[in-house]
Chains A and B, each alone.
Chain A
Protein backbone atom coordinates (compact mmCIF):
# COMPACT_ATOMS: atom_id res chain seq x y z
CA UNK A 1 0.00 0.00 0.00
CA UNK A 2 1.26 3.48 -0.85
CA UNK A 3 2.02 6.10 1.74
CA UNK A 4 2.17 6.07 5.51
CA UNK A 5 -0.75 4.92 7.63
CA UNK A 6 -1.93 5.06 11.21
CA UNK A 7 0.60 2.41 12.25
CA UNK A 8 3.36 4.75 11.18
CA UNK A 9 1.89 7.67 13.14
CA UNK A 10 1.53 5.57 16.29
CA UNK A 11 5.03 4.19 15.91
CA UNK A 12 6.31 7.76 15.45
CA UNK A 13 4.65 8.80 18.70
CA UNK A 14 6.02 5.81 20.61
CA UNK A 15 9.51 6.37 19.24
CA UNK A 16 9.31 10.06 20.15
CA UNK A 17 8.31 9.16 23.70
CA UNK A 18 11.17 6.68 23.89
CA UNK A 19 13.81 9.05 22.57
CA UNK A 20 12.65 11.90 24.80
CA UNK A 21 12.77 9.60 27.81
CA UNK A 22 16.21 8.36 26.84
CA UNK A 23 17.56 11.90 26.41
CA UNK A 24 15.65 13.50 29.28
CA UNK A 25 18.79 14.36 31.25
CA UNK A 26 20.62 15.64 28.18
CA UNK A 27 17.74 17.95 27.23
CA UNK A 28 17.49 19.32 30.75
CA UNK A 29 21.23 19.83 30.87
CA UNK A 30 21.12 21.82 27.61
CA UNK A 31 18.28 23.86 29.11
CA UNK A 32 20.19 24.40 32.31
CA UNK A 33 22.92 26.18 30.34
CA UNK A 34 20.65 28.78 28.75
CA UNK A 35 17.22 28.35 30.32
CA UNK A 36 15.89 26.90 33.53
CA UNK A 37 16.90 23.28 33.23
CA UNK A 38 13.59 21.49 32.93
CA UNK A 39 13.02 20.89 29.21
CA UNK A 40 13.71 17.13 29.36
CA UNK A 41 11.65 16.72 32.50
CA UNK A 42 8.63 18.56 31.10
CA UNK A 43 8.69 16.89 27.70
CA UNK A 44 9.16 13.46 29.26
CA UNK A 45 6.15 14.07 31.51
CA UNK A 46 4.14 15.03 28.43
CA UNK A 47 5.11 12.03 26.34
CA UNK A 48 4.48 9.62 29.22
CA UNK A 49 0.97 11.04 29.35
CA UNK A 50 0.70 10.60 25.57
CA UNK A 51 1.64 6.92 25.89
CA UNK A 52 -0.95 6.44 28.62
CA UNK A 53 -3.61 8.05 26.42
CA UNK A 54 -2.55 5.97 23.46
CA UNK A 55 -3.05 2.76 25.43
CA UNK A 56 -6.69 3.62 25.99
CA UNK A 57 -7.41 4.91 22.50
CA UNK A 58 -7.33 3.49 19.01
CA UNK A 59 -6.88 6.36 16.59
CA UNK A 60 -8.02 5.38 13.12
CA UNK A 61 -6.06 7.87 11.06
CA UNK A 62 -2.59 9.46 11.30
CA UNK A 63 -4.37 12.77 11.91
CA UNK A 64 -6.28 11.35 14.86
CA UNK A 65 -3.07 9.99 16.41
CA UNK A 66 -1.36 13.36 16.07
CA UNK A 67 -4.38 15.16 17.50
CA UNK A 68 -4.13 12.96 20.58
CA UNK A 69 -0.48 13.95 20.96
CA UNK A 70 -1.38 17.62 20.55
CA UNK A 71 -4.09 17.83 23.16
CA UNK A 72 -2.11 15.73 25.63
CA UNK A 73 1.07 17.81 25.30
CA UNK A 74 -0.90 21.06 25.64
CA UNK A 75 -2.55 19.84 28.82
CA UNK A 76 0.47 18.23 30.47
CA UNK A 77 3.75 19.91 29.50
CA UNK A 78 3.28 23.54 30.49
CA UNK A 79 6.01 26.09 30.00
CA UNK A 80 6.56 27.36 26.49
CA UNK A 81 7.30 24.01 24.87
CA UNK A 82 3.86 22.57 25.74
CA UNK A 83 1.79 25.05 23.76
CA UNK A 84 4.42 25.29 21.00
CA UNK A 85 4.84 21.58 20.32
CA UNK A 86 1.16 20.98 20.99
CA UNK A 87 0.29 23.53 18.34
CA UNK A 88 2.74 21.89 15.96
CA UNK A 89 1.04 18.49 16.31
CA UNK A 90 -2.40 20.07 16.16
CA UNK A 91 -1.69 21.89 12.90
CA UNK A 92 0.01 18.78 11.53
CA UNK A 93 -3.10 16.77 12.41
CA UNK A 94 -5.31 19.33 10.69
CA UNK A 95 -3.15 19.15 7.57
CA UNK A 96 -3.39 15.35 7.59
CA UNK A 97 -7.16 15.60 7.88
CA UNK A 98 -9.11 12.35 7.62
CA UNK A 99 -6.68 10.71 5.20
CA UNK A 100 -5.92 7.09 6.02
CA UNK A 101 -2.60 7.20 4.22
CA UNK A 102 -0.13 10.03 3.67
CA UNK A 103 2.02 10.25 0.56
CA UNK A 104 5.11 12.46 0.19
CA UNK A 105 3.05 15.52 -0.66
CA UNK A 106 0.84 15.02 2.39
CA UNK A 107 3.85 14.54 4.67
CA UNK A 108 5.42 17.77 3.43
CA UNK A 109 2.11 19.57 4.03
CA UNK A 110 1.96 18.09 7.53
CA UNK A 111 5.49 19.23 8.40
CA UNK A 112 4.96 22.69 6.93
CA UNK A 113 1.71 23.16 8.85
CA UNK A 114 3.40 22.06 12.08
CA UNK A 115 6.23 24.54 11.55
CA UNK A 116 3.79 27.33 10.68
CA UNK A 117 1.91 26.61 13.90
CA UNK A 118 5.06 27.00 15.99
CA UNK A 119 5.94 30.25 14.24
CA UNK A 120 2.41 31.61 14.68
CA UNK A 121 2.33 30.84 18.42
CA UNK A 122 5.87 31.67 19.38
CA UNK A 123 6.52 34.44 16.87
CA UNK A 124 10.13 33.31 16.48
CA UNK A 125 11.98 33.54 13.18
CA UNK A 126 14.83 31.52 11.75
CA UNK A 127 18.06 32.39 13.52
CA UNK A 128 16.40 33.26 16.86
CA UNK A 129 17.89 30.08 18.42
CA UNK A 130 14.63 28.23 18.98
CA UNK A 131 12.95 25.02 17.81
CA UNK A 132 12.11 26.89 14.59
CA UNK A 133 15.77 26.47 13.64
CA UNK A 134 15.24 22.72 13.49
CA UNK A 135 11.77 22.80 11.91
CA UNK A 136 12.38 25.25 9.08
CA UNK A 137 15.41 23.48 7.59
CA UNK A 138 13.45 20.24 7.97
CA UNK A 139 10.52 21.61 6.00
CA UNK A 140 12.82 23.06 3.33
CA UNK A 141 14.67 19.75 2.94
CA UNK A 142 11.41 17.83 2.83
CA UNK A 143 10.15 20.06 0.02
CA UNK A 144 13.38 19.56 -1.92
CA UNK A 145 13.24 15.80 -1.47
CA UNK A 146 9.67 15.79 -2.74
CA UNK A 147 10.59 17.96 -5.73
CA UNK A 148 13.39 15.52 -6.52
CA UNK A 149 10.82 12.74 -6.77
CA UNK A 150 11.17 11.34 -3.27
CA UNK A 151 8.40 9.40 -1.54
CA UNK A 152 7.16 9.87 2.02
CA UNK A 153 10.10 7.90 3.38
CA UNK A 154 12.66 10.00 1.49
CA UNK A 155 10.90 13.19 2.57
CA UNK A 156 11.05 12.26 6.27
CA UNK A 157 14.62 11.10 6.07
CA UNK A 158 15.66 14.42 4.51
CA UNK A 159 13.65 16.32 7.14
CA UNK A 160 15.29 14.43 9.99
CA UNK A 161 18.81 15.02 8.65
CA UNK A 162 18.14 18.72 8.14
CA UNK A 163 16.58 19.10 11.59
CA UNK A 164 19.70 17.60 13.15
CA UNK A 165 21.99 19.96 11.24
CA UNK A 166 19.64 22.81 12.06
CA UNK A 167 19.81 22.02 15.76
CA UNK A 168 23.63 21.88 15.61
CA UNK A 169 23.62 25.24 13.84
CA UNK A 170 21.95 26.89 16.84
CA UNK A 171 25.19 26.60 18.84
CA UNK A 172 26.79 29.91 17.74
CA UNK A 173 23.46 31.78 17.62
CA UNK A 174 22.49 34.51 20.07
CA UNK A 175 18.98 33.81 21.38
CA UNK A 176 16.31 36.35 20.57
CA UNK A 177 13.22 34.55 21.84
CA UNK A 178 12.32 32.56 24.91
CA UNK A 179 14.12 32.41 28.20
CA UNK A 180 17.59 32.12 26.65
CA UNK A 181 17.16 35.59 25.14
CA UNK A 182 17.68 37.10 28.61
CA UNK A 183 21.28 35.93 28.38
CA UNK A 184 22.00 37.94 25.25
CA UNK A 185 25.51 37.23 23.96
CA UNK A 186 26.07 34.68 26.70
CA UNK A 187 23.57 32.35 25.01
CA UNK A 188 26.05 31.79 22.16
CA UNK A 189 28.04 28.56 22.39
CA UNK A 190 25.14 26.41 23.54
CA UNK A 191 22.81 24.16 21.57
CA UNK A 192 19.13 25.10 21.85
CA UNK A 193 17.26 22.37 23.78
CA UNK A 194 13.99 22.92 21.89
CA UNK A 195 15.77 22.51 18.55
CA UNK A 196 17.40 19.32 19.82
CA UNK A 197 14.17 17.77 21.05
CA UNK A 198 12.43 18.71 17.80
CA UNK A 199 15.20 17.01 15.84
CA UNK A 200 14.75 13.88 17.96
CA UNK A 201 11.04 13.82 17.20
CA UNK A 202 11.61 14.26 13.47
CA UNK A 203 14.20 11.49 13.50
CA UNK A 204 11.63 9.31 15.25
CA UNK A 205 9.17 10.05 12.42
CA UNK A 206 11.75 8.90 9.89
CA UNK A 207 12.82 5.82 11.86
CA UNK A 208 9.19 4.79 12.18
CA UNK A 209 9.08 4.45 8.36
CA UNK A 210 12.39 2.72 7.98
CA UNK A 211 11.96 0.15 10.70
CA UNK A 212 8.23 0.31 11.45
Chain B
Protein backbone atom coordinates (compact mmCIF):
# COMPACT_ATOMS: atom_id res chain seq x y z
CA UNK B 1 0.00 0.00 0.00
CA UNK B 2 1.45 3.37 -1.02
CA UNK B 3 1.76 5.93 1.78
CA UNK B 4 3.73 9.14 2.21
CA UNK B 5 5.63 7.82 5.20
CA UNK B 6 9.18 6.92 6.24
CA UNK B 7 8.46 3.98 8.47
CA UNK B 8 5.15 2.68 9.81
CA UNK B 9 6.63 2.71 13.32
CA UNK B 10 7.51 6.42 13.23
CA UNK B 11 4.39 7.84 11.58
CA UNK B 12 3.08 9.65 14.67
CA UNK B 13 6.42 11.13 15.70
CA UNK B 14 7.29 12.19 12.16
CA UNK B 15 3.92 13.84 11.72
CA UNK B 16 4.22 15.66 15.06
CA UNK B 17 7.60 17.00 13.98
CA UNK B 18 5.99 18.46 10.89
CA UNK B 19 3.11 19.84 12.91
CA UNK B 20 5.53 21.60 15.25
CA UNK B 21 7.48 23.04 12.34
CA UNK B 22 4.34 24.26 10.60
CA UNK B 23 2.72 26.00 13.58
CA UNK B 24 5.45 27.40 15.84
CA UNK B 25 3.39 30.42 16.87
CA UNK B 26 0.44 28.29 17.96
CA UNK B 27 1.85 25.22 19.66
CA UNK B 28 4.78 23.53 21.30
CA UNK B 29 5.29 19.83 20.69
CA UNK B 30 6.83 17.81 23.52
CA UNK B 31 8.36 14.42 22.93
CA UNK B 32 8.89 11.41 25.22
CA UNK B 33 6.18 11.45 26.26
CA UNK B 34 4.49 12.99 23.24
CA UNK B 35 1.94 15.76 23.58
CA UNK B 36 1.07 19.12 22.04
CA UNK B 37 0.38 22.25 24.10
CA UNK B 38 -0.57 25.83 23.34
CA UNK B 39 2.47 28.02 22.79
CA UNK B 40 1.50 30.11 25.84
CA UNK B 41 0.60 27.20 28.16
CA UNK B 42 -0.14 27.23 31.00
CA UNK B 43 -2.54 30.16 30.85
CA UNK B 44 -2.73 31.58 34.39
CA UNK B 45 -6.17 31.41 35.95
CA UNK B 46 -7.80 29.70 32.96
CA UNK B 47 -9.24 26.20 33.01
CA UNK B 48 -7.02 23.96 30.89
CA UNK B 49 -8.64 21.69 28.30
CA UNK B 50 -6.94 18.42 27.42
CA UNK B 51 -8.12 15.91 24.89
CA UNK B 52 -6.48 13.06 23.09
CA UNK B 53 -6.88 9.66 21.60
CA UNK B 54 -5.46 7.49 18.91
CA UNK B 55 -3.76 9.20 15.98
CA UNK B 56 -5.20 8.96 12.49
CA UNK B 57 -8.10 11.37 13.11
CA UNK B 58 -6.23 14.55 12.20
CA UNK B 59 -6.80 17.41 12.58
CA UNK B 60 -8.41 16.01 15.77
CA UNK B 61 -6.98 16.70 18.37
CA UNK B 62 -3.70 18.58 17.87
CA UNK B 63 -5.22 20.73 15.13
CA UNK B 64 -7.57 22.18 17.74
CA UNK B 65 -4.89 23.29 20.19
CA UNK B 66 -4.72 27.06 20.52
CA UNK B 67 -6.55 30.15 21.66
CA UNK B 68 -10.23 29.51 22.37
CA UNK B 69 -10.10 25.72 22.11
CA UNK B 70 -7.76 23.05 23.55
CA UNK B 71 -4.74 23.70 25.74
CA UNK B 72 -3.26 20.28 25.02
CA UNK B 73 -3.71 17.26 22.80
CA UNK B 74 -2.29 13.82 23.51
CA UNK B 75 -1.84 11.62 20.45
CA UNK B 76 -1.59 7.86 20.87
CA UNK B 77 -0.35 5.40 18.29
CA UNK B 78 -2.57 5.18 15.20
CA UNK B 79 -6.10 4.28 16.35
CA UNK B 80 -4.80 3.46 19.83
CA UNK B 81 -5.46 5.49 22.94
CA UNK B 82 -2.46 7.19 24.49
CA UNK B 83 -1.17 5.76 27.77
CA UNK B 84 -1.68 7.55 31.10
CA UNK B 85 1.87 9.03 31.30
CA UNK B 86 1.62 11.56 28.46
CA UNK B 87 -1.95 12.43 29.49
CA UNK B 88 -0.67 13.16 33.00
CA UNK B 89 2.24 15.26 31.72
CA UNK B 90 0.00 17.25 29.39
CA UNK B 91 -2.47 17.81 32.23
CA UNK B 92 0.24 19.20 34.48
CA UNK B 93 1.65 21.33 31.64
CA UNK B 94 -1.62 23.18 31.08
CA UNK B 95 -2.76 23.58 34.68
CA UNK B 96 -2.89 27.33 35.19
CA UNK B 97 -4.26 26.94 38.69
CA UNK B 98 -7.92 26.72 37.71
CA UNK B 99 -8.00 22.99 37.10
CA UNK B 100 -8.09 20.88 33.96
CA UNK B 101 -10.95 19.41 31.94
CA UNK B 102 -10.37 16.10 30.16
CA UNK B 103 -12.50 15.70 27.05
CA UNK B 104 -12.63 11.97 26.30
CA UNK B 105 -14.23 10.17 23.39
CA UNK B 106 -16.24 7.20 24.62
CA UNK B 107 -14.02 4.33 23.57
CA UNK B 108 -13.00 1.77 26.17
CA UNK B 109 -9.28 2.42 25.76
CA UNK B 110 -9.57 6.21 25.89
CA UNK B 111 -11.79 6.08 28.94
CA UNK B 112 -9.52 3.66 30.85
CA UNK B 113 -6.32 5.57 30.11
CA UNK B 114 -7.78 9.02 30.84
CA UNK B 115 -9.34 7.66 34.07
CA UNK B 116 -5.95 6.40 35.20
CA UNK B 117 -4.28 9.71 34.27
CA UNK B 118 -6.94 11.69 36.13
CA UNK B 119 -6.32 9.61 39.27
CA UNK B 120 -2.57 10.22 38.96
CA UNK B 121 -3.15 13.96 38.44
CA UNK B 122 -5.38 14.12 41.49
CA UNK B 123 -2.58 12.49 43.48
CA UNK B 124 -0.38 15.41 42.40
CA UNK B 125 -3.01 17.95 43.46
CA UNK B 126 -4.21 18.91 39.99
CA UNK B 127 -7.97 19.29 39.96
CA UNK B 128 -9.38 17.31 37.02
CA UNK B 129 -12.91 16.95 35.70
CA UNK B 130 -13.77 14.62 32.84
CA UNK B 131 -16.42 14.80 30.18
CA UNK B 132 -17.03 11.73 28.06
CA UNK B 133 -18.36 12.49 24.58
CA UNK B 134 -20.81 9.95 23.18
CA UNK B 135 -22.66 11.51 20.27
CA UNK B 136 -22.82 8.54 17.87
CA UNK B 137 -26.40 7.34 17.46
CA UNK B 138 -25.33 4.30 15.42
CA UNK B 139 -24.57 2.40 18.62
CA UNK B 140 -27.41 1.51 20.90
CA UNK B 141 -26.63 2.75 24.40
CA UNK B 142 -27.51 -0.21 26.54
CA UNK B 143 -26.08 -2.74 28.92
CA UNK B 144 -25.13 -4.76 25.88
CA UNK B 145 -22.54 -2.46 24.36
CA UNK B 146 -19.66 -0.30 25.53
CA UNK B 147 -22.07 2.59 24.97
CA UNK B 148 -22.24 5.21 22.28
CA UNK B 149 -18.98 6.25 20.71
CA UNK B 150 -17.55 9.74 20.76
CA UNK B 151 -17.15 10.89 17.16
CA UNK B 152 -17.38 14.19 15.25
CA UNK B 153 -19.41 15.92 17.95
CA UNK B 154 -16.12 16.04 19.88
CA UNK B 155 -15.02 19.02 17.77
CA UNK B 156 -18.12 20.97 18.79
CA UNK B 157 -17.55 20.11 22.46
CA UNK B 158 -13.92 21.22 22.24
CA UNK B 159 -14.72 24.50 20.46
CA UNK B 160 -17.57 25.54 22.70
CA UNK B 161 -16.03 24.42 26.01
CA UNK B 162 -12.80 26.09 24.90
CA UNK B 163 -14.64 29.37 24.41
CA UNK B 164 -16.23 29.03 27.84
CA UNK B 165 -12.80 28.51 29.42
CA UNK B 166 -11.40 31.48 27.50
CA UNK B 167 -14.14 33.80 28.82
CA UNK B 168 -13.17 32.83 32.36
CA UNK B 169 -15.68 30.17 33.40
CA UNK B 170 -14.53 28.01 36.29
CA UNK B 171 -13.90 24.25 35.98
CA UNK B 172 -17.40 23.19 36.98
CA UNK B 173 -18.95 25.66 34.54
CA UNK B 174 -16.71 24.64 31.64
CA UNK B 175 -17.50 20.98 32.32
CA UNK B 176 -21.22 21.83 32.40
CA UNK B 177 -21.02 23.58 29.02
CA UNK B 178 -19.13 20.61 27.56
CA UNK B 179 -21.81 18.21 28.83
CA UNK B 180 -24.53 20.46 27.50
CA UNK B 181 -23.01 20.31 24.00
CA UNK B 182 -22.66 16.54 24.22
CA UNK B 183 -26.26 16.21 25.40
CA UNK B 184 -27.52 18.21 22.42
CA UNK B 185 -25.27 16.76 19.69
CA UNK B 186 -26.02 13.66 17.64
CA UNK B 187 -23.91 12.11 14.88
CA UNK B 188 -23.85 9.22 12.46
CA UNK B 189 -21.43 8.22 9.74
CA UNK B 190 -21.11 6.17 6.58
CA UNK B 191 -18.04 4.55 5.04
CA UNK B 192 -17.52 3.77 1.37
CA UNK B 193 -14.08 2.22 1.89
CA UNK B 194 -11.95 1.01 4.80
CA UNK B 195 -8.94 2.91 6.13
CA UNK B 196 -5.45 1.48 5.83
CA UNK B 197 -3.54 1.61 9.12
CA UNK B 198 0.15 2.21 8.24
CA UNK B 199 1.60 -0.66 10.29
CA UNK B 200 -1.12 -3.04 9.11
CA UNK B 201 -0.76 -2.16 5.44
CA UNK B 202 -4.13 -3.67 4.56
CA UNK B 203 -7.65 -2.21 4.76
CA UNK B 204 -9.15 -2.43 8.26
CA UNK B 205 -12.17 -4.30 6.96
CA UNK B 206 -13.34 -5.85 3.74
CA UNK B 207 -16.02 -4.02 1.79
CA UNK B 208 -16.89 -4.49 -1.86
CA UNK B 209 -17.12 -1.74 -4.48
CA UNK B 210 -20.91 -1.73 -4.40
CA UNK B 211 -21.43 -1.70 -0.63
CA UNK B 212 -21.38 0.95 2.10
CA UNK B 213 -21.17 0.59 5.88
CA UNK B 214 -23.83 2.61 7.68
CA UNK B 215 -23.03 3.72 11.22
CA UNK B 216 -19.28 3.47 10.85
CA UNK B 217 -17.04 4.50 13.75
CA UNK B 218 -13.89 6.56 13.33
CA UNK B 219 -11.42 3.67 13.57
CA UNK B 220 -12.79 1.70 10.69
CA UNK B 221 -14.66 -0.44 13.17
CA UNK B 222 -17.78 -1.69 11.47
CA UNK B 223 -21.07 0.02 12.10
CA UNK B 224 -24.75 -0.75 12.19
CA UNK B 225 -25.35 -2.41 8.84
CA UNK B 226 -23.83 -3.17 5.49
CA UNK B 227 -26.01 -2.17 2.53
CA UNK B 228 -25.81 -1.78 -1.20
CA UNK B 229 -24.59 1.64 -2.34
CA UNK B 230 -27.31 4.09 -3.34
CA UNK B 231 -27.23 7.73 -4.50
CA UNK B 232 -26.30 10.34 -1.92
CA UNK B 233 -29.82 11.48 -0.98
CA UNK B 234 -30.76 7.98 0.15
CA UNK B 235 -27.57 7.57 2.16
CA UNK B 236 -27.99 10.97 3.81
CA UNK B 237 -31.56 10.07 4.70
CA UNK B 238 -30.27 6.92 6.42
CA UNK B 239 -27.95 9.04 8.56
CA UNK B 240 -30.38 11.89 9.23
CA UNK B 241 -33.39 9.84 10.31
CA UNK B 242 -31.72 8.19 13.34
CA UNK B 243 -30.05 11.51 14.26
CA UNK B 244 -33.30 13.47 14.09
CA UNK B 245 -35.34 10.87 15.94
CA UNK B 246 -32.82 10.32 18.70
CA UNK B 247 -32.70 13.70 20.46
CA UNK B 248 -35.31 14.32 19.00
CA UNK B 249 -34.84 17.43 16.88
CA UNK B 250 -38.18 19.05 16.23
CA UNK B 251 -39.77 21.72 14.12
CA UNK B 252 -38.52 25.26 14.86
CA UNK B 253 -35.30 23.97 16.46
CA UNK B 254 -32.22 25.99 15.69
CA UNK B 255 -29.21 23.83 14.79
CA UNK B 256 -25.59 23.69 13.75
CA UNK B 257 -25.18 21.31 10.78
CA UNK B 258 -21.74 19.72 10.59
CA UNK B 259 -20.73 17.55 7.64
CA UNK B 260 -17.43 15.87 8.44
CA UNK B 261 -15.20 14.12 5.92
CA UNK B 262 -13.54 10.87 6.96
CA UNK B 263 -10.29 11.67 5.18
CA UNK B 264 -10.53 10.57 1.57
CA UNK B 265 -13.83 12.03 0.43
CA UNK B 266 -13.41 15.23 -1.59
CA UNK B 267 -14.97 18.47 -0.41
CA UNK B 268 -17.05 18.61 -3.57
CA UNK B 269 -18.91 15.53 -2.33
CA UNK B 270 -19.15 16.78 1.25
CA UNK B 271 -21.05 19.82 0.00
CA UNK B 272 -23.48 17.58 -1.83
CA UNK B 273 -24.04 15.76 1.46
CA UNK B 274 -24.55 19.14 3.12
CA UNK B 275 -27.13 20.10 0.50
CA UNK B 276 -29.01 16.83 0.96
CA UNK B 277 -28.98 17.17 4.75
CA UNK B 278 -30.03 20.82 4.64
CA UNK B 279 -33.01 20.04 2.46
CA UNK B 280 -34.18 17.33 4.88
CA UNK B 281 -33.96 19.91 7.68
CA UNK B 282 -35.85 22.46 5.57
CA UNK B 283 -38.69 19.98 5.04
CA UNK B 284 -38.92 19.56 8.81
CA UNK B 285 -38.84 23.30 9.41
CA UNK B 286 -35.60 23.06 11.36
CA UNK B 287 -33.53 26.20 11.10
CA UNK B 288 -29.81 25.85 10.31
CA UNK B 289 -28.09 28.89 11.77
CA UNK B 290 -24.47 27.64 11.93
CA UNK B 291 -22.53 25.24 9.71
CA UNK B 292 -19.23 23.43 9.46
CA UNK B 293 -18.05 21.42 6.46
CA UNK B 294 -14.70 19.72 6.04
CA UNK B 295 -12.32 17.04 7.24
CA UNK B 296 -12.12 17.48 11.02
CA UNK B 297 -12.45 14.02 12.56
CA UNK B 298 -10.96 11.68 10.02
CA UNK B 299 -10.28 8.00 9.86
CA UNK B 300 -6.97 8.02 7.98
CA UNK B 301 -7.76 7.49 4.30
CA UNK B 302 -11.29 6.19 4.68
CA UNK B 303 -13.88 7.43 2.21
CA UNK B 304 -17.10 8.52 3.79
CA UNK B 305 -18.55 11.17 6.02
CA UNK B 306 -20.49 11.79 9.17
CA UNK B 307 -23.29 14.21 9.87
CA UNK B 308 -23.64 15.94 13.24
CA UNK B 309 -26.53 18.08 14.40
CA UNK B 310 -26.22 20.31 17.46
CA UNK B 311 -29.29 21.93 18.95
CA UNK B 312 -28.34 25.56 19.59
CA UNK B 313 -29.43 28.22 22.03
CA UNK B 314 -28.15 31.78 22.46
CA UNK B 315 -25.33 30.73 24.79
CA UNK B 316 -24.04 28.00 22.48
CA UNK B 317 -24.23 30.32 19.46
CA UNK B 318 -22.23 33.00 21.24
CA UNK B 319 -19.60 30.49 22.33
CA UNK B 320 -19.43 28.98 18.84
CA UNK B 321 -18.92 32.45 17.33
CA UNK B 322 -16.24 33.42 19.88
CA UNK B 323 -12.72 33.84 18.50
CA UNK B 324 -10.62 30.74 17.95
CA UNK B 325 -7.09 30.36 16.63
CA UNK B 326 -5.88 26.83 16.01
CA UNK B 327 -4.26 25.05 13.10
CA UNK B 328 -7.58 23.67 11.86
CA UNK B 329 -10.20 26.19 13.01
CA UNK B 330 -9.68 29.92 13.17
CA UNK B 331 -11.93 32.95 13.08
CA UNK B 332 -12.62 36.21 14.82
CA UNK B 333 -9.11 37.01 15.86
Contact among B77, B108, B138, B140 for A42, CB-based, below 8 A: B77
Q: Are B83 and A75 neighbours in the complex by a CB distance under 8 Å?
A: yes
Answer yes or no: B113 CB below 8 A from chain A CBs: yes
B224 to chain A, nearest CB (A): 8
Q: Which of B82, B113, B140, B223 counts the most A-chain CB atoms under 10 A from its CB?
A: B113
Q: Are A28 and B200 neighbours in the complex by a CB distance under 8 Å?
A: yes
Q: Are A181 and B205 neighbours in the complex by a CB distance under 8 Å?
A: no
Answer yes or no: A23 CB below 8 A from chain B CBs: no
Q: Are B146 and A79 neighbours in the complex by a CB distance under 8 Å?
A: no
Q: Are B116 and A78 neighbours in the complex by a CB distance under 8 Å?
A: no
Tier of interface size on chain B: 35 or more
What would 30 A/B residue contacts be, using CB atoms closer than 8 Å?
Answer: A36-B79, A36-B197, A36-B219, A36-B220, A36-B221, A37-B197, A37-B200, A37-B220, A38-B200, A41-B199, A74-B83, A78-B76, A78-B83, A80-B81, A82-B81, A82-B109, A83-B113, A83-B116, A122-B112, A177-B108, A177-B145, A177-B146, A178-B146, A179-B146, A181-B144, A181-B146, A182-B139, A182-B146, A182-B149, A183-B221
Answer yes or no: B162 CB below 8 A from chain A CBs: no
Map CB proximity to B onto A141-163 as digits: 1 under 8 Å, 0 otherwise.
Answer: 00000000000000000000000
- Tell me the dominant secondary structure on chain A's binding face: helix
Contact among A41, A42, A75 for B84, CB-based, below 8 A: A75
List B residues 74-105 near A (Cβ within 8 Å): 76-85
- Tell me the dominant secondary structure on chain B's binding face: loop
Instruction: Identify the A interface with B (CB < 8 A).
Output: 28, 32, 35-38, 41-42, 45, 74-84, 121-122, 174, 176-179, 181-184, 186
Instruction: Identify the B interface with A (CB < 8 A).
Output: 54, 76-85, 107-109, 112-113, 116, 138-140, 143-146, 149, 197, 199-200, 204-205, 217, 219-223
User: Which residue of the partner chain B has the closest CB to A41?
Assistant: B199
B262 to chain A, nearest CB (A): 14
Q: Are B200 and A78 neighbours in the complex by a CB distance under 8 Å?
A: no
User: Which residue of the partner chain B has the closest CB to A76?
Assistant: B83
Contact among B81, B82, B108, B217 for A178, CB-based, below 8 A: B108
B150 to chain A, nearest CB (A): 12
